[in-house]
A and B are shown apart, each in its own frame.
Chain A
Amino acid sequence: MEKRNKILNIEGIQTYYGVSHVIQGLSMYVENQEAVSILGRNGVGKTTTLRTIMGLTPPRGGSIHINGVDTTKAPPHKISKLGVAYVPAERHIFPGLSVEENLMMAARPGKGKDPWTLEKVCDHFPVLADRTKQDGSTLSGGEQQMLAIGRALISNPEIIIMDEPSQGLSPLLVQMITDVVLKFCISSGITMLIVEQNYRMALKVASRHYLMGTKGKIVKIASTKELMEDPEIIQSHLSV
């Protein structure tokens, strides 16, 4: 049996905003083609963890390896080029750029036999196909989330890190986003690291979960099966 390698491996990172010590020794890993979630209450450091992986707020201690490459001090563009796509909670759709231009900013040739291209994104995301010339920032929240995911896919990444995709969306839209993530990211073999406060969505998409307490401390690691069988685990670990 092929041993699954750790596509993302984080060891004891320490991240600061100025003098404020936000992540105090976080270790975690994501294996190739695995879908992992980070669950935790507001302000514990989930976004900061993703920003640290992405090179936006580099850690002052610890190490991060992506596919075996030490990226602890690497800038965001180098990390992106290693096949990491970032879908931030704010979506960060470029205002003044059309939907198509937002996608073209990220487009990169893929290695597989059916790589993501502008045509493929339009085929699979009808809401975007109808609006290719429209200013991306004028889309609705759900459409912007679709665009942010489409923009991640079109870079043909190995791993997508996604920050609270369900944030601010109606239950119907959360369902649509969940389906999109399951169908285009997870089923097609893209490794996922997803941050959520919507635990139901996280249980649907990820198979292993890191429960994060204050200052980025991992209080529990659990499989979806464990969390489904005993919903109390989330309650007991994530409430104060």
Chain B
Amino acid sequence: MGGTIGIIVDISLNSLVLSGVFLIVAIGLNIIYGLSRIMNMGHGALYAVGAYTGYTLVATGFNYFVALVIAPIIVGGIGLLIERTIIAPMRKRSMVYTLILTYGLMFFLDGMIKYVWGNKPCFIDLPAFMQGTLSILGTQYPIFRLVTLFLIAGIMGGLMLFLNKTKVGLILRASSTIPEMVSCLGINMSYVHMGAFVLGCIMAAMAGIIAGPLTTIDPLMGSEMLISSFVVIVIGGLGSLRGAVLAALLIGFVQTLAEFFITDLAMVIVYVLMAVILAFMPRGILGEGKFE
């Protein structure tokens, strides 16, 4: 009996952790899309760059938690450079242009990753206290996964505070509703778009470094995550926060089950579900999506 409960606890906690990572990546993607109508195909690659940067920082002697702060800042800087040099000049064009542009960005970043870090998988060395396990209801649960859960909660809480309690957050929220009126109040929308892109990149990088220890860091992690986060925002409804939370929980759970029972069938079900939702509920499971 204890064994069964242990498995349930394992699966539940694992899927929560995975859902959290999906959620953070997907929210980053959603913020960029919601504010500037750019579907950033390079988002997964930026997530991977975050993970690799974190790996390098830890490997060169930085504390894991310090790396958790520095890596997103570095990736945010890369995002700023990308936005100002290639995305901003394309903004007035139709969405197809930015889609192709960011698709190219994905290949460029993937290539850079292979150039800088090679093809071999990397592993983040965790601080000693995170390496053990904790006994929870009959299962020995890895401590680092519990820490990751707290980090996810912290990141989400921090994001909510930023959006709800700061002037920049206020401007971002207003801009996601009536951007034209925001510009009539004296705010340069070009900077709003820039801020949204950088914030999205920071979210991707944070997800990358907290996901690093969960999986191996390899050149494929970015494109896998891009697909998963697409599924999350499509099922949740573009621009819907509550929808994204629900969809992330769903995808995290299904993928955990799939890994546990070593079957890919579960993911097939997810894609079928996505196709059905795309066809019949273009605004996501809660019908809350702001765009179709």
Tell me the A residues contacting B by CB distance below 8 Å. 54, 56, 75-77, 80-81, 86, 88, 92, 94-97, 101, 104-106, 108, 151, 155
- Check if B180 is an interface residue, CB within 8 A of chain A: yes
Chain A min CB distance to B278 (Å): 26
Please provide the chain B residues from 244 to 269 with a CB less than 8 Å away from any CB of chain A in the complex: none
Decide if A75 touches B183 in the complex (CB within 8 Å).
yes
Query: Contact partner of A96 among B177, B180, B183, B185, CB < 8 A?
Result: B177
A56 to B189, CA, bound (A): 13
Q: A86–B178 Cα gap in the complex (Å)?
A: 14
Instruction: Report whether B170 and A76 are in contact in the complex, using a CB–CB cutoff of 8 Å.
Output: no
Asked whether, in the complex, the Cβ of A101 is within 8 Å of the Cβ of B184, the reply is: no
Residues of A within 8 A of B57 (CB): none
Query: Which of B171, B180, B183 counts the most A-chain CB atoms under 10 A from its CB?
Result: B183
Complex: A216 Cα to B181 Cα, angstroms = 24
In the complex, what distance in Å separates the CA atom of A155 from the CA atom of B248? 41
Most central of B167, B186, B188 by chain A CB within 10 Å: B186
- In contact, B180 and A106 (Cβ under 8 angstroms): no
Residue B159 interfacial (CB < 8 Å): no
> Could you tell me if B171 and A77 are in contact, using CB atoms closer than 8 angstroms?
no
Pick 25 A–B contacts, CB within 8 A, sort by A: A54-B184, A56-B180, A56-B184, A76-B180, A77-B187, A77-B189, A80-B185, A80-B186, A81-B186, A86-B184, A92-B181, A94-B173, A94-B174, A94-B178, A97-B174, A101-B170, A101-B173, A104-B167, A104-B170, A105-B170, A105-B182, A105-B185, A108-B186, A155-B185, A155-B186
| B residues less than 8 Å from A92 (CB atoms) | 178, 180-181
Contact with A along B154-188 (1 / 0, CB 8 A): 00000000000001001101100110111111111
A-B pairs, 10 with minimum CB distance? A80-B186, A92-B181, A76-B183, A94-B174, A86-B184, A106-B185, A77-B188, A76-B184, A81-B186, A92-B178
Contact (Cβ within 8 A) B173 A96: yes
CB within 8 Å of A: which B180-216 residues: 180-189
Determine which of B167, B170, B173, B183 lies in contact with A77 in the assembled complex, contact meaning CB atoms within 8 Å: B183
Name the interface size band of chain B.
Answer: 10 to 19
Which one of A88, A94, A108 has the greatest number of beta carbons of chain B within 10 Å? A94
> Hey, which chain B residues are within 8 Å of A151, CB to CB?
185
Cross-chain contact A80 with B170 (CB below 8 angstroms): no
A94 cross-chain contacts in B, Cβ below 8 A:
173-174, 177-178, 181
Which B residues are closer than 8 A to A by beta carbons? Answer: 167, 170-171, 173-174, 177-178, 180-189
A195 to chain B, nearest CB (A): 15
Q: Can you name 15 extra interface pairs (CB under 8 A) apart from A88-B184, A101-B170? A: A54-B184, A75-B188, A76-B184, A80-B183, A81-B186, A92-B178, A94-B173, A94-B178, A95-B177, A96-B177, A105-B170, A105-B174, A105-B185, A108-B186, A155-B185
- Output the least CB separation between A18 and chain B (Å): 15
Contacts of B178 in A (CB 8 A): 92, 94
Given contacts A104-B170, A105-B171, contact A77 B186 (CB under 8 A): yes
In the complex, A77 Cα to B177 Cα: how many Å? Answer: 17
Give the residue name and chain of the A residue nearest to B167 (CB).
A104
* A96 vs B182: C-alpha distance when bound (angstroms): 14
* Distance to closest chain B CB from A21 (angstroms): 22
Q: How many Å lie between the Cα of A75 and that of B183 in the bound state?
A: 8
Residue of chain A at shortest CB distance from B180: A56
Assembled-state Cα–Cα distance A42/B247 (Å): 46
Chain B residues with CB below 8 A from A86, complex form: 184
Alpha-carbon separation in the docked complex, A95 to B181 (Å): 12
Quick one: closest A residue to B189, CB to CB? A77
Of all chain A residues, the one with the shortest Cβ separation from B181 is: A92
List residues of chain B with CB within 8 A of the CB of A77: 183-189
Q: Which residues of A contact B177 (CB under 8 A)?
A: 94-97
Contacts of A88 in B (CB 8 A): 181, 184
Bound: A76/B189 CA distance, A: 10
Which residues of B have CB within 8 Å of A106?
185-186
Contact of B170 among A75, A97, A108 (CB under 8 A): A97
Asked whether A97 lies within 8 Å of B184 as measured between CB atoms, the reply is no
CB-based nearest A residue for B191: A77
